[in-house]
């Protein structure tokens, strides 16, 4: 089960990086995009901390 959680955490990190790379936040765009990316990063970090 721990392996699944680690793999999930890694996949969330990969998706966050991929989204950030393909759709960089630009001033004047919908602020929810940047907020969603930040939320993914925070959730990934919280998941990582909970499993250590």
pLDDT in tens, 3-51: 777 788 788 888 878 877 776 666 666 777 778 888 888 888 888 788 7
Rounded Cα distance between 14 and 12, Å, is 5
pLDDT at 27: 64
pLDDT at 28: 65
Structure tokens at 52: 């250590």
């Amino acid at each position: 089960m721990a392996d699944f959680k680690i793999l999930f955490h890694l996949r969330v990190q990969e998706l966050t990086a991929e989204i950030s790379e393909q759709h960089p936040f630009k001033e004047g765009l919908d602020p929810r995009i940047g907020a969603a990316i930040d939320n993914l990063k925070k959730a990934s970090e919280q998941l990582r901390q909970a499993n250590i």
